[in-house]
């Protein structure tokens, strides 16, 4: 079986390794970086910046409380950017090594379908190469959306990609878009003392998550001096001397934000265009390659996975789809449980969610019971000085089944794995209660939230 995979991100490279493990002859075509957006310009570099800036912010503001004395704490921005590159390189080199070991052939260049059996690659090194295949997997990812307001093309108006490699730490940034990427950049730069303004069109920040846990983040951002405008629409951007002036509207009232940089964090568009897919019979809708539940396109031997399908844009979803597509192609019918996708925001507090929010559960007609436990009642959170946030559990009142777990707080993005496993195993709240959590850990807050579904949490009055 010869499989051609276009795109070396967490969708494509994971599919390549899995298919090779199962005995396929695999060619992986990548036009830019192995590791894709995630390793090079997305998940990994942003988390490196979040990690260091968070330590800096905590030491600067809480050293005394922690019993530490620090006299000359400084950010070395150059070194921090170098560390970001080194971490990404280390992970990318690791992936390249595995691909080599698994005999996956990596071809550098831009791929385009010429038929349902052949791809033409415009090679990065020059020239062209035709690659034939039995099955193909398209994993071409997504790109930033720039909202076409007047002034969107001015110097200083940037996307997440440039925002993670700025020459200097700006004095002020206006972030258009208060979704995951917007709030993560707000966290990075507000930790460094940059004046941040977020302008979000929807009435809520990170609108796809449970708003009670998002509120913990919003409070933390406001405490750091971040200004947040919600239900506000950006009208235009102008240059005003060395700075940019963003004009927006809140209801009928226009307002202006002056900032050194403007980050467009207004979502990402699937990259399914320009691949010659429509010409060979694959449906593509505004860049999103149309697939069925098994990631098959309208052409029987062509699959598409990850961001380019217009579904949930997360690295672990791309990888899970890649595993599934490779196994299906190799004759094993593996079905991932896409009800249990964890959603994470790596801010302070961290936010993490799996399953239904309270609002979604009610809208779906469930009769629910909700348990909540605040982090200020959790010993480990008090030890680390991270008492903002809570664990919230949504359960089916009739069966006790856990329908959703939502966490704001320290280690929320690690803890959510236990919520995902609970949901995957269709656990009940009673089963969470009868599980023993180590002390002192933040995980104990899950136990307490489960107890609180029945009004019986121990460490709250
Ligand atoms: P990509 O990773 O985008 O890879 C697609 C690859 O295809 C690219 O390398 C591209 O060069 C290549 N390609 C495209 N067209 C062609 C062609 N014609 N020929 C050859 N190659 C081609 N997700 C998380 O889960 N956690 C996070 O913390 C997180 N943080 C993020 C932070 C930022 C700032 C951004 C922008 C995204 C973040 N994401 C995060 C989202 C995550 O990066 C994506 O969901 C993930 O990378 C999608 O994987 P993919 O394989 O579908 O596509």
Cα(147) to centroid of ligand 1, in Å?
20
Q: Report whether residue 32 contacts ligand 1, using a CB cutoff of 6 Å.
A: yes
Q: Report whether residue 43 contacts ligand 1, using a CB cutoff of 6 Å.
A: yes
Best of 7, 274, 289, 319 to mutate for ligand 1, by most ligand atoms within 8 A of CB? Answer: 7
Q: Which atom of ligand 1 is nearest to the CA of 33?
A: 9
Which protein residue's CA is at the shortest distance from atom 14 of ligand 1? 140
0.75 cut: is pTM over it? yes
pLDDT at 277: 98
Mean pLDDT of 22-33: 98
Alpha-carbon gap, residue 56 to 192, rounded angstroms: 8
Do 197 and 275 meet the contact criterion of CB atoms below 8 Å apart? no
- Assess whether pLDDT exceeds 80 at residue 10: yes
Residue for token digits 């309270």?
A: 358
Of the candidates 158, 196, 159, 165, the one whose C-alpha atom is nearest the C-alpha of residue 181 is 159
Mean pLDDT of 168-181: 98
Q: 43-62 and 77-101 are packed helices; what angle lies between their axes, rounded to 10 degrees?
A: 140
439 is catalytic: yes
Q: Which atom of ligand 1 is nearest to the CA of 305?
A: 52
Which protein residue's CA is at the shortest distance from atom 46 of ligand 1? 315
- Assess whether pLDDT exceeds 80 at residue 334: no
Q: Which residues pair with 172 in a beta bridge?
A: 195
Of residues 51, 57, 316, 439, which has the active-site annotation? 439
The overall average pLDDT reported for the chain is 97
Cα(41) to centroid of ligand 1, in Å?
8
Q: Report whether residue 419 contacts ligand 1, using a CB cutoff of 6 Å.
A: no
Mean pLDDT of 163-174: 98
- Assess whether pLDDT exceeds 90 at residue 452: yes
Q: Report whether residue 175 contacts ligand 1, using a CB cutoff of 6 Å.
A: no
Distance of CA 115 to the CA centre of its chain: 34
Which protein residue's CA is at the shortest distance from atom 6 of ligand 1? 7
pLDDT at 361: 97
Mean pLDDT of 240-245: 93
Which protein residue's CA is at the shortest distance from atom 26 of ligand 1? 43
Cα(122) to centroid of ligand 1, in Å?
21
Task: Categorize the per-residue pLDDT at 336 as very low, low, confident or very high, splitting at 50, 70 and 90.
Answer: confident
Residue 57, token pair as written in the block: 């912010």
Give the containing element (helix H, strand E) for 424: helix 412-424
Q: Report whether residue 46 contacts ligand 1, using a CB cutoff of 6 Å.
A: yes
Between the CA atoms of 245, 249, 254 and 257, what dihedral angle is there, to the nearest 10 degrees? -30
Query: CB count, 10 Å around CB of 31?
Result: 17
Q: Which residues pair with 196 in a beta bridge?
A: 173
Cα(11) to centroid of ligand 1, in Å?
8
Look at residue 147 and give its three-state secondary structure: coil
Task: Categorize the per-residue pLDDT at 55 as very low, low, confident or very high, splitting at 50, 70 and 90.
Answer: very high
Q: Which atom of ligand 1 is nearest to the CA of 32?
A: 11
Best of 4, 5, 9 to mutate for ligand 1, by most ligand atoms within 8 A of CB? Answer: 9
Cα(284) to centroid of ligand 1, in Å?
18
Distances (CA, A) of 132 to 14, 16, 59, 282, 432: 21, 16, 56, 18, 51
Cα(170) to centroid of ligand 1, in Å?
26
Q: Which residues pair with 257 in a beta bridge?
A: 246
pLDDT at 418: 97
Of the candidates 123, 98, 116, the one whose C-alpha atom is nearest the C-alpha of residue 30 is 123
Cα(318) to centroid of ligand 1, in Å?
9
Best of 13, 36, 209 to mutate for ligand 1, by most ligand atoms within 8 A of CB? Answer: 36
Q: What is the pLDDT of residues 107-141, one digit of tens each?
A: 999 999 999 999 999 999 999 999 999 999 999 99
Q: What is the pLDDT of residues 67-100, one digit of tens each?
A: 999 999 999 999 999 999 999 999 999 999 999 9
pLDDT at 89: 98
Look at strands 118-123 and 105-113 and give their pairing.
antiparallel
- Assess whether pLDDT exceeds 90 at residue 335: no
Of the candidates 230, 173, 170, the one whose C-alpha atom is nearest the C-alpha of residue 200 is 230
Do 423 and 339 meet the contact criterion of CB atoms below 8 Å apart? yes
Residue 440, token pair as written in the block: 């002192």
Do 407 and 419 meet the contact criterion of CB atoms below 8 Å apart? yes
């Amino acid at each position: 079986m010869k499989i051609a995979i276009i795109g070396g991100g967490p969708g494509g490279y994971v599919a390549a390794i899995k298919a090779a493990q199962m005995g396929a002859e695999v060619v992986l075509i990548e036009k830019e970086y192995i590791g894709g957006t995630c390793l090079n310009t997305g998940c990994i570099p942003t988390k490196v910046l979040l990690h260091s800036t968070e330590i800096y912010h905590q030491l600067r503001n809480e050293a005394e409380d922690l019993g530490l004395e620090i006299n000359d704490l400084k950010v070395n921005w150059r070194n921090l950017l170098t560390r970001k590159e080194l971490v990404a390189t280390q992970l990318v080199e690791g992936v390249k090594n595995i691909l080599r070991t698994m005999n996956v052939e990596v071809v550098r260049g831009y791929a385009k379908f010429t038929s349902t059996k052949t791809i033409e690659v415009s090679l990065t090194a020059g020239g062209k190469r035709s690659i034939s295949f039995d099955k193909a997997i398209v994993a071409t990812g997504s790109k930033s959306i720039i909202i076409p307001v007047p002034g969107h093309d001015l110097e200083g108006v940037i996307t997440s990609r440039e925002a993670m490699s700025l020459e200097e730490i700006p004095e002020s940034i206006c972030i258009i878009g208060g979704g995951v990427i917007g709030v993560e950049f707000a966290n990075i730069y507000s930790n460094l003392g940059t004046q941040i303004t977020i302008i979000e069109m929807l009435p809520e920040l990170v609108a796809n998550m449970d708003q009670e846990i998002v509120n913990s983040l919003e409070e933390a951002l406001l405490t750091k001096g971040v200004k947040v405008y919600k239900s506000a629409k950006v009208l235009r951007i102008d240059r005003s001397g060395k700075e940019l002036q963003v004009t927006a509207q809140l209801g009928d009232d226009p307002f202006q934000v002056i900032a050194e940089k403007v980050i467009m964090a207004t979502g990402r568009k699937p990259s399914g265009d320009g691949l010659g897919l429509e010409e060979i019979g694959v449906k593509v809708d505004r860049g999103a390659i149309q697939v069925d539940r098994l990631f098959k396109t309208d052409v029987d031997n062509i699959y598409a996975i990850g961001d380019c399908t217009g579904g949930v844009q997360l690295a672990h979803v791309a990888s899970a789809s890649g595993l599934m597509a490779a196994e299906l192609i190799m004759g094993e019918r593996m079905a991932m449980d896409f009800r249990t996708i964890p959603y994470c925001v790596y801010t302070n507090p961290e936010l993490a969610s799996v399953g239904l929010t309270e609002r979604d559960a009610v809208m779906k007609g469930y009769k629910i019971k909700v348990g909540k436990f605040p982090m200020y009642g959790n010993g480990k959170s008090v030890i680390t000085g991270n008492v903002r946030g809570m664990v919230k559990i949504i359960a089916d009142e009739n069966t006790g089944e856990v329908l959703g777990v939502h966490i704001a707080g320290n280690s929320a993005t690690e803890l959510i794995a236990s919520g995902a496993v609970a949901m995957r195993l269709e656990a009940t709240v009673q089963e969470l209660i009868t599980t023993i959590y180590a002390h002192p850990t933040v995980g104990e807050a899950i136990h307490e939230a489960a107890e609180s579904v029945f009004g019986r949490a121990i460490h709250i009055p």
